[in-house]
A and B are shown apart, each in its own frame.
Chain A
Amino acid sequence: MNTKKILMTTALATLFVSTLSIAHDPSLHTSNKEKPNCQAMHEMDPSMMDMNDPVTQAIMKQCGKADMKEQQEDEKTACTAEHAKLGHCTLEESTNKDEGQKSKDSEHDHD
């Protein structure tokens, strides 16, 4: 009986601690999504930017990622609007194409 109680208490304590540790997972913050406003960065004169500064590098990285994401979304939208009507492609096909490209890229990374 005592062993059962101890096991129960340990299990509950473990569950509580593991719940706490996932409570602050970064993915849980994504409800607070905000797009980086990179317009100002794009308008800046590159010669005025210190490319060795970690802040500049972080901004370039963040805006590079945001641009890539936007481009991918644009490609998907373009497929749906123009070609899907003509039956040339579907949104599903476009997604598969993206995934294919991703797997190609990852293969390339492993070479």
Chain B
Amino acid sequence: MIKAILGAVAIALASAAAFIYSGLYPMGADDQHNKITYWVLETMRENSIARSAKDIDVPELSDPSLLLMGGADYNDMCSGCHLKPGLSENDMTIGLYPSPPNLASRLDEHGHEHRLTNEDAARRNFWIIKHGIKASGMPAWGPTHSDDRIWGMVAFLERLPELTSGQYQILTARSAESGNGHH
């Protein structure tokens, strides 16, 4: 019996290795994952982020200076992939896979629903901005940006879906800033 189990495990491992080395799995970003692979990766990602972010303390995010600091950073670092008011897609959102969510649209319009409280959404956003997501095109900004600057982006993200193009332009312009909280 034990021999049979060991034999089955050995065959399974050999098959997995053969599949990995065969080069049969399509790796092009223009060839989507099958439903099972997508479900496995998404479920693993969401549960991992929720687990890692659950103990993060969320600071007060309604300070206008935080919005200005986060707005300028969002425009420079994020809008190329996550868009801004008035834009529904660009070369990056079409070409990247998985496609980056449109953060300028309301949660129920950007492809999937998270059913998170505001605090949990803030924790999730902070964790993702700081640590990035493997093999998704989302970089970790933590090594080069302070937590304060990342919270600025989180604060801005909370209000981004309600902003008009005009409000977005004013909040993200850098020329009027005299530090915007950076010292």
A100 at the interface (CB under 8 A from B): no
Beta-carbon contacts under 8 Å, A31-74 to B: 32-38, 40-41, 54-55, 57-59, 61-63, 65-66, 69
B182 touches A26 (CB 8 A): yes
B174 at the interface (CB under 8 A from A): yes
* Closest A residue to B182 using CB positions: A26
Task: Count residues of chain A with CB under 8 A from any CB of chain B.
Answer: 27
B121 at the interface (CB under 8 A from A): no
With a CB–CB cut-off of 8 A, which chain A residues contact B145? 24
B52 at the interface (CB under 8 A from A): no
On whether A63 and B170 interact (CB within 8 A), knowing A21-B144, A33-B175, the answer reads yes
B159 touches A54 (CB 8 A): yes
Task: Give the number of A-B contacts (CB < 8 Å).
Answer: 90
Binding-face segment, B6-14, B17-25, B62-70: B62-70
With a CB–CB cut-off of 8 A, which chain B residues contact A55? 64, 67, 159, 162-163, 167, 171
* Closest A residue to B162 using CB positions: A55
With a CB–CB cut-off of 8 A, which chain A residues contact B179? 26
A62 touches B171 (CB 8 A): yes
With a CB–CB cut-off of 8 A, which chain A residues contact B59? none
B144 touches A23 (CB 8 A): yes
- Write 18 A-B pairs (CB below 8 A) sorted by A numbering: A24-B144, A26-B69, A26-B72, A26-B177, A29-B73, A30-B174, A32-B76, A34-B169, A34-B174, A35-B173, A35-B175, A38-B170, A54-B67, A55-B64, A55-B67, A55-B167, A63-B176, A65-B177
10 A-B pairs with least C-beta separation: A58-B64, A36-B173, A66-B176, A57-B64, A58-B67, A65-B176, A36-B170, A33-B175, A24-B144, A54-B62
Knowing that A26-B174, A35-B176, A55-B67 touch, tell me 14 more A-B residue pairs with CB under 8 angstroms: A24-B141, A26-B177, A26-B179, A26-B182, A29-B73, A29-B174, A32-B76, A35-B175, A41-B170, A55-B163, A58-B71, A59-B171, A63-B170, A66-B173
